[in-house]
Amino acid sequence: DQQVKQNSPSLSVQEGRISILNCDYTNSMFDYFLWYKKYPAEGPTFLISISSIKDKNEDGRFTVFLNKSAKHLSLHIVPSQPGDSAVYFCAASGNDMRFGAGTRLTVKP
Amino acid sequence: DAMVIQNPRYQVTQFGKPVTLSCSQTLNHNVMYWYQQKSSQAPKLLFHYYDKDFNNEADTPDNFQSRRPNTSFCFLDIRSPGLGDAAMYLCATSRGDRRGYQETQYFGPGTRLLVL
């Protein structure tokens, strides 16, 4: 059962533009959401998180938005840089942790 | 300053031949997790240890076992690997608490298992 879905397997943006990665979830018991970033040959690394009591969390170039009524969250990267090219995983937690399948972001110079 | 270490990075085994993957951590985290990730799929939690308490996911096959002899080390044993067990196996740690999974997880680089 895919409780966390990232419907776009890949995304390509130009350097300097905004990258928007999307994630949908089905379980209303999830109350904490995280984004992880993964480079080739490395494990996922934590990027940013948001609690369900908030609708926005910002950390430098990275902002996560949460729309609880739509069970949707998104990660905005602005401005995008070539070093941001990686696979981004969305994760949701409550009584357990579920991951999405990831979106491969490519930022072109 | 490696934090979560997985050995080996690549493991080749034969169909039905037991294999053990290892994970160690220098973070002194009380929770350790094992995930299986197949190509283009989400990491799937197999089980986790909260200190010495073992927590198995309901759909984890009996073929997969785990040991945690101390805080720093955790092993994944696959008793009789099948072709379908070929995947990336990720170990992760977190401080964790019994209320849920609201702690950041720190992942190792993974071990890619190939079953011949």
Token pair for residue B81?
């690997």
Q: B13 with B55: CB under 8 angstroms?
A: no
| pLDDT tens column, B28-65 | 999 999 999 998 899 999 999 999 999 898 889 999 99
pLDDT at B100: 57
Q: B110 with B11: CB under 8 angstroms?
A: no
Are A93 and B45 an interchain contact pair (Cβ–Cβ within 8 Å)?
A: no
Phi then psi for residue B83, to 5 deg, are: -60, -30
| pLDDT tens column, A26-60 | 999 999 999 999 998 889 999 999 999 999 999 99
Give percent helix, percent strand, percent coil of chain A, each to the nearest 5. Answer: 5, 55, 40
Residues A79 and A81: their CA atoms lie apart, in Å, by: 6
CB pairs under 8 A between A and B: 56
A97 falls in which pLDDT band (50, 70, 90)? confident
Least Cα distance to A30 among A58, A53, A64, A7 occurs for: A53
Least Cα distance to B50 among B33, B62, B64, B67 occurs for: B33
Are B107 and A95 an interchain contact pair (Cβ–Cβ within 8 Å)?
A: no
Whether A65 has a pLDDT exceeding 90, the answer reads yes
Relative to beta strand A72-77, strand B64-67 is: unpaired
Whether B99 has a pLDDT exceeding 80, the answer reads no
pLDDT at A95: 77
Whether A1 has a pLDDT exceeding 80, the answer reads no
